[in-house]
Structure 1
C-alpha cells in the first residue's frame, strides 16, 4: 500500500510540476545575439533586427533562421541551445517595435564610416578579368538568397567575380558616370561603394537604420540616400563622407515623413525625393548655381526680415493633394507620373510645381518599373499593376490611356530596349502564373509569346545587354539561375546558377538611362 501511495504521489507531483520557465526574450537576445546584432538590435557584424528591417521576413522564416542558422553566413543554429518556446519568443520580439525608439544621429553616421581602400590606393585602370571585358557591357547581379553580388561579362556571358554583400540589398545599385564605381544600399542602412575596375569594396557608411534606396548625381560628386528610419535624406560626397542631413518634416515642422525614394534627375542637376507620409515631392538641386527657394522662408531675426533658402542642397517642395508613393519620369524629367497607395495616378510638372492631370490607372500601378517607347510617332509609357492582371499604356502627349493589355496575372517588372521591338513583363504577383514571362509587341500592344522555363518557379526581372541582342531573366529561387535568352527568338542561350537573383543591372543601359529600363 505504501509503495502504491508513493507511486501515486510521484505521478501527482510530475503532473503538477510547472513547465520549464522561458527566459525573457531581451535576456535571450543579450546572451546569444547582442555580440553580432548589436545593442538596441541596431546591427553589427550581423544585420539589424528591427521590424522596419525585417518587414519581408516571414515569421516562420525567422523561426527557421534562429533554429537552423543561415548557410554561407556567420549565423549559427540555436536549435540545440534554445528551446522551441525560446526561439518562438525571440522571433516575436525581434519583429516588435524597439523601445525606446532607435535613433541614428549625424555623429553615428560619421563614426560608422569605413574606408579599406582610400582614394589613390588602387590602380586607375581596369584589372584582371574586368580588363578583358567591354566595361559598358558588364552586369551587376544582386543575389538575395545568400546575400552576394556577382559581376558578369556580358559578351562572354560568364560570371567573373562574386562577393558577399551587406544583408538584404534594397533598391537598384547606382553607377558613377564613368562606370568605375557602383553604390549599393542595404535594408538596414549600409551604403557600400564598390570599385568595379579593381573588384573591391572601397568605402562604406551606415546612412540610416532602414534605407530605401540611393541615387548618384549625374556629375558623380554626390550620393543621396533616402531613409525610412530615421525619416531623412542623407547626402554624401563620392567617398561617402556625410555632407548634409535633411529631416523629413513639412515646412511648419508639425508633421514628418519617411522618405520612400530618391532619384537622380540628370537634365535638372537635381535629386527628386518621394515622401511616404506627406503630400509633397521634393527636388534637391546639386547645382551650385541653383536659384534660391522662395517657398520655405527662413527668418533672419537679427535683421528682422525673411530671406530665401539657398537652392543648393535644399528641398524645393511641390505640394500635392494626396500622398504619392511610386514614380515614373519622362526622359527629360520635366514630368513625374506618381501613384497613390489607392492606385490613383497624377502627373506633376516639376517646372510649374503642380499636378496637371489625373490618370486612368487600374489596380495598383508599379510606375517605378515603367518604361517608354515611340509608337506611331507618339511616346508612350507602360506600367504593370500589382493587383490587376494588365499592363497600362499611356500617351505621354495627352496623358490618355491608349491600351490595357491583359496578362496572366499581376506583374512587378517591365523591361525592353531601344533596339528591341518587344517589351517583357512578368506575373510574379500571381500564385499561378509567376513562372511565366510574357512578350509584348510594342507597336501592336499584343502578347506575342510566353516563356516558361521551369513550371512553378518564379521567373522575372529582365535586363538587356547594351546592344539589345539578348536579355537575362531570373529564376528567383534559392537554387535559382540566370537565364540568357535571345531577344529575337526568345530561346534560351545559356544559364548560370545563382542564389535567388532578384536584380540584374547593365552598366551601359543604366548610365545612358535607356528608355527600356527603370531609372
Structure 2
C-alpha cells in the first residue's frame, strides 16, 4: 500500500507543482504568445488592467476552452481544473516586477500596412453604397469588427480586431478613416474606402481611449498604464510626442478620458487620479489666444509638428470620472464617482455651476437637443433607474425621468422626437425605454429579445431606423423603424457592444456621443 501511495504521489507531483506555482505554468504554457511580464506579443496582454472588464468565469472559460477564430487553444484535458483556476487567479494579480513601456517601445511597435500617399481617392466598393451611411460594429464576442451598409443593412466586410477594443472608435473629419484603441494599448488606423488597415502602433500597456483632432492631423491616446498621453500623426500613426501625465505636485495620474473639442481646436483630457482638467491645443495660433501655451515648431520626418504643447491646466474641486461638452464647447459638465457634478467654463477655467446629479451619471453617453428654444442635455445613470434632463441655458435640472433600471447608453437623432435608453445595468436589461423629448415622458417600453441585453441604440444618418445591440454571444443587431418601433431586420452578431454611424459621428449629431 505504501509503495502504491508513493507511486501515485510521484505521478501527481507535476500537477501539484503546477497548481502551486502558476508563474511557472505561465512560463511553460503562455509566455511564447502572451510575452514576458504578461505584456502581450502575438497574443493580447494578460495584465489585470487588460482583463478587468472580463468576468472571472470568462477568464476561466477562455483558458479552458480557448477562443474561437484565434490561435488560442483550450487547455481542457491538458491541464487539471485546479491548474486552470490557479492560473486564472494569478492573472488577476499584478506582476511582481511592474512592466515598463517607453517611447522607444512605442516607436518600435509601429506596423505600416499601406502607404497613405498611395491610397485611392474614392471608395473601392460598390458605388451604390453610401460611405457616409456605413456603420462600424464592434463585436466583443470574438473580437471582430463588421462594416455595415446602413441602407441595405448588409455587411460590407468583417475583420478581426485587436483584443478588447475599448472606447468608441473615432473617425477622421471626412469619415474616411476610423481609429480603434484596444485595451492593451494598440491603436489601429483603418481605411473605410479600401476596407484595409493602414497602420497600427502600440502606445502603452493599457489604453483608455483615443481622440482625433478636428483638422484630421492628430490622434491623441490616453493611457492608464503607463500614465501617459501619446500624440500620433493621424496619417499613418507615426509617433510625435509622449506626455508624462503628472499633476501640479508631480504625482503621476492615469488618464480617465480624452476627447476632441473641434470648435476650440484642442483636446480635452480628464485625469483619473488628479483634480485637474487639461486642454492641449493643436491650433498654431493658440499661443496668442491662450496664455501658457508654448509652440516650438520643428521638422520631424518631413512634417512640421509642435515640439512641445503645454497642457493648459484647470484646477478642479474634484477628480473627474466622466464629462460632456455643451453645444458650443465652452463648458464641460463633469461628474465624479461619488455623485458630485459641476459645470466648468473652459475659457475662464472656473466652476460656474453645481449640478444635482447623484448616483453615477454616465455623461459620456449623453445627448443634446433643442426644445421650445431651450438647449437640453440628457444623461442616463449607472446607479439609478432614471434619465436626467439638464437645461443648459440655466444649468438646472429640468426633469428626472424614471426608467426600469440603471442604464448605460442614451441615444437619439435630430430627425426623431424620441430618445432611447437601455436598462442594461439592472435585472430589466432586456427593456428599452422610449422617451418623448417634447414631454420628458416615457411613451413606450420595448423588449426585442426577452431575457437578453437590449442596449446601445444608434440611428441611420437620416434617423429613420434605430439599430439595437443584443449583447450576447452569439447575439444580434436588430433594426427597428424609429417611427412605429417595429422590427424590420435582424443580423447575427457576436456580442455587438457598439455600432457607430459615420455621418452621425463626423457631423457631431446631438443624438450620439462624440
Aligned twin of 1:447:
442
- Please give the residue correspondences for 1:34-53 in structure 2 after superposition, counting only pairs within 5 Å: 34-53=31-50
Matches within 5 A, 1:266-345: 266-291=262-287, 313-345=309-341
Is the contact between residue 285 and residue 311 of structure 1 (CA under 8 Å) also seen in structure 2? Answer: no
> Which residue is 2:494 aligned to?
499
Q: Summarize the alignment of residues 68-107 of structure 1 with structure 2, pairs less than 5 Å apart.
A: 68-107=65-104
Q: Which residue in the other structure is 1:124 paired with?
A: 121
Could you tell me how far 1:377 is from its partner in structure 2?
1.2
1:512 aligned to which of 503, 507, 512 = 507
Q: Which residue of 1 aligns with 2:389?
A: 393
Please say if residues 391 and 407 of structure 1, whose CA atoms lie closer than 8 Å, have aligned partners that are also in contact.
yes
Q: Does 1:489 align with 2:479?
A: no
State the Cα distance separating 1:357 from its structure 2 match.
1.2
Paired residue for 2:303? Answer: none
Distance 1:513 1:229 in 2: 30
d(CA) in 1 for partners of 2:207, 2:242? 14
**Which of the residues 96, 107, 112 maps onto 2:109?**
112
Question: Does the Cα contact within 8 Å between 1:251 and 1:296 map onto a contact in 2?
Answer: no
- Which stretch shifts more, 81-90 or 41-50? 81-90
Residue 446 of structure 1: how far off its partner (Å): 0.6
Do 2:256 and 2:320's aligned partners in 1 also have CA atoms closer than 8 Å?
no
Kindly state the Cα deviation for residue 498 of structure 1 after the two structures are TM-superposed: 0.4
Offset at 1:295? 5.7
Q: How many residues align?
A: 498
Cα RMSD between the aligned structures? Answer: 1.9
| Structure 2 Cα separation of the partners of residues 349 and 311 of structure 1 | 28
Task: Give SS of 1:183's match.
Answer: strand
Task: Measure how far apart 1:28 and its partner are.
Answer: 1.3
Whether the 8 Å contact between 1:22 and 1:86 is mirrored in structure 2 is no
Please tell me whether the aligned partners of residues 286 and 312 of structure 1 are also in contact (alpha carbons under 8 angstroms): no
Distance 2:294 2:120 in 1: 47
- The alpha-carbon deviation at position 205 of structure 1 amounts to 0.1
| Counterpart in the other structure of 2:364 | 368
**2:409 maps to which residue?**
413
After superposition, the Cα gap between the structure-2 partners of 1:503 and 1:12, relative to the gap in structure 1 and judged at 3 Å, is closer
The reply to whether residue 152 of structure 1 matches residue 154 of structure 2 is no
Divergent runs of 4+, >2 A: 9-23, 120-124, 292-298, 310-314
Q: Which residue number corresponds to residue 218 of structure 2?
A: 222
Which position in structure 1 is the counterpart of 2:467? 472
How far is the alpha carbon of 1:229 from its aligned partner? 0.4
> Are 1:133 and 2:137 an aligned pair?
no
1:170 to 166, 180, 183: 166
Displacement of 1:11 in angstroms is: 7.4
1:437 and 2:405 are equivalent in the alignment? no
Conserved? CA contact 1:381–1:393, under 8 Å:
yes
Aligned-pair CA distance for 1:124 = 2.4
Residue in structure 1 matched with residue 300 of structure 2 by the alignment? none
Aligned to 1:459: 454
- The equivalent position to 1:234 in structure 2, one of 227, 230, 235, is 230
Q: Deviations over 1:465-518 (max 9, x none)?
A: 111111101000011111110010011010111000000100010000000001
Which of 3, 24, 27 does residue 27 from structure 1 map onto? 24
CA deviation string 1:387-435 (max 9, x = no partner): 111111110011111110000000110000001000000000002x100
Structure 2: distance between partners of 1:490 and 1:260? 36
Counterpart residue number, 1:423: 419
* Structure 2 residues without counterparts, runs of 5 or longer: 296-305
Cα-to-partner distance string for 1:306-360 (whole Å, 9 max, x where unaligned): xxxx996321000001101101111111000000111111000000001111101
| Greater gyration radius | 1
Q: Which runs of 5+ in 1 are unaligned?
A: 1-6, 299-309
TM-score w.r.t. length of structure 2: 0.94
- Following superposition, the deviation at residue 279 of structure 1 comes to 0.1
Separation (CA, whole Å) in 2 of partners of 1:296 and 1:176: 25
